[in-house]
C-alpha cells in the first residue's frame, strides 16, 4: 500500500507537528506501507529554513526549496507559510505521476488542503487536524478569524475522514450539517518517547520548574516569564527553566536579568525523558480562550513520564479534564501570581503515590499511535 503524507513540518524538526509527522511516517513504514512525504526543509520552531540532507531509510521525501523569506513575525510568517506551501504542493501534484492509496494531510496549514480535490476519488483522503487557526485569531481579528473558519470548513469537505486531536476541535465541525455524512473521529496525540535516561544531568539539583517546547502567542510567553519572576522571588532556592528556541524565546532571554531563570536550547528527542524525569514540575500554559484550538502534543509524554504537571488553561477545557484524571497534575484557570505560586507549592510538596500501572493504562487507552493508524485505515 502506498501512502503520502503532506505537511510542511517534518524530520529533523525536534518537536510538535514535525516530530509527530516523522513518527507517523516511521510507523506507517514499519507496517509495510510505501511512504512518501511532501514537506519543507526544517524551520520550526525557529522559523528559519535550514537545508538538510538527513534522511530516514525507506522514506521517499520531496522537499520544497529552502528559499522562503520568513520575517520573524508570527502572524505574517503563518501567511507566508500558507502561500508558499500551497504553491509547493500544487507544483508537486502537477509533476507527480504516481497514484496513492492514502493521502494524509496534516493541518495547519489550511489552504493547501485544496490539493486533495486533485487526487483520485478512489484513494483514502484523510485530514489530521492539529490546530484550529481561527481560534487563535479571535482575540486579534474577529472578522479574519471567521473568514479562516469558513475556509477551513469548506476545504475539509475534500477529505473522506477528519481526525481531530481533541474533542473540543471536533465539536466545531461535527455539529455542522455539512460534516454529518463525513467520518469524523478524535485521536489525542500519542506517546513517542522511551523511559531510558541518556547521559548526565540536564538540570541543577533541587526544585526545578520547567517550560519546554515551542514558544508562541498561544503560550503567552511574556506572562509566563512574569509568573516565573514573581515565584522565584518567593522561593529563592527554586530553579526556573525555559527550553525552547525562536523569536519569542530569544526576546524573553534578552529581557530577563534573573539569575534563577535559565534559558536553554531544546534537548534531543533521546533526552526528553531525562529532562522530564529531572523536572520537579512541568508547565503547560494556554492563552485565555484558546484551549479549543489545540491540545499540546507533549502532554502524553509528560503523563507517560509520570511528571508533575501544572496547566494554565480555560475552565472546563479538555486539557483541564485530562489533568483531573492524572494523579500528578493541577490545573488553574488564572494567570494570577498567587494562584500560580500556590499551585506550584502544592505540586512540589506532592508525594508520589506509585500509580505507574494506572498511568500506563491511561496512555495505552488514550495516547496510542496504533489507534491513530487504525482510524486512518478504518472503513467504518
Flag whether pLDDT at 342 surpasses 70.
yes
Q: How far is CA 232 from the centre of its chain?
A: 28
CA distances from 255 to 41, 112, 209, 221, 230 (A): 31, 37, 19, 12, 15
Domain 2-186: CATH superfamily is Glycogen Phosphorylase B; (3.40.50.2000)
Question: Residue 263 forms beta bridges with which residues?
Answer: 242
CB 16 within 8 A of CB 213: yes
What is the pLDDT at residue 200?
81
| Alpha-carbon span 270 to 194, nearest angstrom | 8
Query: Residue 309: helix, strand or coil by DSSP?
Result: strand
What is the pLDDT at residue 179?
67
Flag whether pLDDT at 376 surpasses 80.
yes
Residues 308-322: tens digit of each pLDDT: 999 999 999 999 999
**Burial tier of 371 (Cβ tally within 10 Å: 0-12, 13-18, 19+):** middle
Tell me the CATH number for domain 207-362: 3.40.50.2000
- Residue 60: phi and psi, rounded to 5, are -105, 100
Q: State the sign of the Cα–Cα–Cα–Cα dihedral 194, 13, 89, 93.
A: negative
Flag whether pLDDT at 2 surpasses 70.
yes
Mean pLDDT of 270-293: 94
Q: Are strands 309-312 and 281-285 parallel, antiparallel or unpaired?
A: parallel
Flag whether pLDDT at 337 surpasses 90.
yes
| Alpha-carbon span 80 to 98, nearest angstrom | 28
Mean pLDDT of 280-295: 94
CA distances from 117 to 46, 64, 111, 163 (A): 32, 21, 12, 18
Mean pLDDT of 203-222: 94
- Residue 328: phi and psi, rounded to 5, are -115, 40
Flag whether pLDDT at 285 surpasses 90.
yes
Flag whether pLDDT at 198 surpasses 80.
no
- Domain boundaries along the sequence of the chain: 2-186, 207-362
User: By percentage, how much of the chain surpasses pLDDT 90?
Assistant: 76
CA angle, 335 then 188 then 110, to 5°: 85
What is the pLDDT at residue 11?
96
What is the pLDDT at residue 178?
67
- Residue 266: phi and psi, rounded to 5, are -60, 140
Confidence of residue 380 (pLDDT cuts 50, 70, 90): low
Residues 218-272: tens digit of each pLDDT: 999 999 999 999 999 999 999 999 999 999 999 999 999 999 999 999 998 889 9
| Alpha-carbon span 49 to 62, nearest angstrom | 15
Mean pLDDT of 364-374: 94
- Residue 149: phi and psi, rounded to 5, are -60, -45
What is the pLDDT at residue 233?
94
CB 332 within 8 A of CB 310: yes
Residues 124-149: tens digit of each pLDDT: 999 999 999 888 887 778 888 889 88
339-343: long-range pairs with CB below 8 Å, 24+: 340/227, 340/230, 340/231, 340/310, 340/312, 341/230, 341/231, 341/234, 341/235, 343/310
Give the position of cell 527553566: 241
67: preceding bond cis by omega (within 30 degrees): no
Confidence of residue 195 (pLDDT cuts 50, 70, 90): confident
Mean pLDDT of 65-73: 89
Report which of 300, 275, 285, 273 is spatially closest to residue 343, judged by C-alpha positions.
285
What is the pLDDT at residue 27?
96
Flag whether pLDDT at 343 surpasses 60.
yes
Flag whether pLDDT at 356 surpasses 90.
no
Flag whether pLDDT at 284 surpasses 60.
yes
| Alpha-carbon span 209 to 309, nearest angstrom | 10
User: By percentage, how much of the chain surpasses pLDDT 70?
Assistant: 97
Mean pLDDT of 345-373: 89
Q: How many CA atoms lie within 13 A of 236 on its CB side?
A: 0
Amino acid at each position: 500500500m502506498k501512502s503520502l503524507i503532506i505537511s510542511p513540518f517534518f524530520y529533523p524538526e525536534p518537536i510538535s507537528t514535525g516530530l509527530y509527522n516523522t513518527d507517523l511516517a516511521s510507523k506507517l513504514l514499519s507496517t509495510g506501507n510505501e511512504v512518501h512525504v511532501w514537506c519543507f526543509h526544517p524551520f520550526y520552531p525557529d522559523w528559519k529554513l535550514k537545508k538538510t540532507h538527513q534522511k530516514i531509510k525507506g522514506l521517499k521525501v520531496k522537499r520544497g526549496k529552502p528559499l522562503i523569506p520568513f520575517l520573524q513575525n508570527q502572524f505574517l510568517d503563518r501567511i507566508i507559510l500558507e502561500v508558499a506551501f500551497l504553491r509547493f504542493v500544487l507544483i508537486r501534484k502537477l509533476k507527480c505521476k504516481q497514484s496513492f492509496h492514502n493521502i494524509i494531510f496534516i493541518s495547519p496549514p489550511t489552504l493547501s488542503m485544496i490539493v486533495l480535490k486533485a487526487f483520485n476519488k478512489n484513494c483514502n483522503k484523510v485530514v489530521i487536524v492539529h490546530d484550529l487557526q481561527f481560534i487563535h485569531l479571535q482575540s486579534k481579528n474577529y472578522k479574519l478569524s471567521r473568514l479562516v473558519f469558513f475556509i477551513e470548513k469548506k476545504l475539509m469537505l475534500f477529505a473522506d475522514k477528519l481526525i481531530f486531536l481533541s474533542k473540543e476541535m471536533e465539536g466545531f465541525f461535527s455539529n455542522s450539517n455539512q460534516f454529518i455524512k463525513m467520518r469524523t473521529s478524535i485521536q489525542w496525540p500519542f506517546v513517542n518517547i522511551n523511559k531510558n535516561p541518556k547521559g548526565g544531568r540536564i538540570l541543577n539539583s533541587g526544585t526545578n520548574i520547567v517550560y519546554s517546547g515551542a514558544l508562541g502567542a498561544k503560550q503567552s510567553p511574556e506572562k509566563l516569564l512574569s509568573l516565573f519572576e514573581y515565584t522565584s522571588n518567593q522561593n529563592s532556592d527554586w530553579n526556573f527553566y525555559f527550553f525552547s528556541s525562536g523569536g519569542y524565546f530569544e526576546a524573553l532571554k534578552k529581557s530577563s536579568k534573573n539569575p534563577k531563570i535559565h534559558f536553554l536550547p531544546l534537548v534531543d528527542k533521546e533526552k526528553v525523558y531525562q529532562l522530564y524525569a529531572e523536572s520537579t514540575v512541568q508547565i503547560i500554559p494556554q492563552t485565555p480562550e484558546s484551549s479549543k484550538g489545540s491540545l499540546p502534543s507533549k502532554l502524553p509524554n509528560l503523563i507517560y513520564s509520570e511528571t508533575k504537571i501544572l496547566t494554565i488553561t480555560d475552565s472546563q477545557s479538555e486539557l483541564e479534564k485530562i489533568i483531573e484524571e492524572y494523579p500528578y497534575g493541577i490545573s488553574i484557570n488564572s494567570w494570577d501570581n498567587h494562584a500560580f505560586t500556590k499551585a506550584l507549592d502544592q505540586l512540589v510538596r506532592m508525594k508520589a503515590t506509585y500509580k505507574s500501572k494506572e498511568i500506563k493504562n491511561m496512555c495505552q487507552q488514550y495516547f496510542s499511535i496504533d489507534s491513530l493508524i487504525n482510524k486512518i485505515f478504518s472503513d467504518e
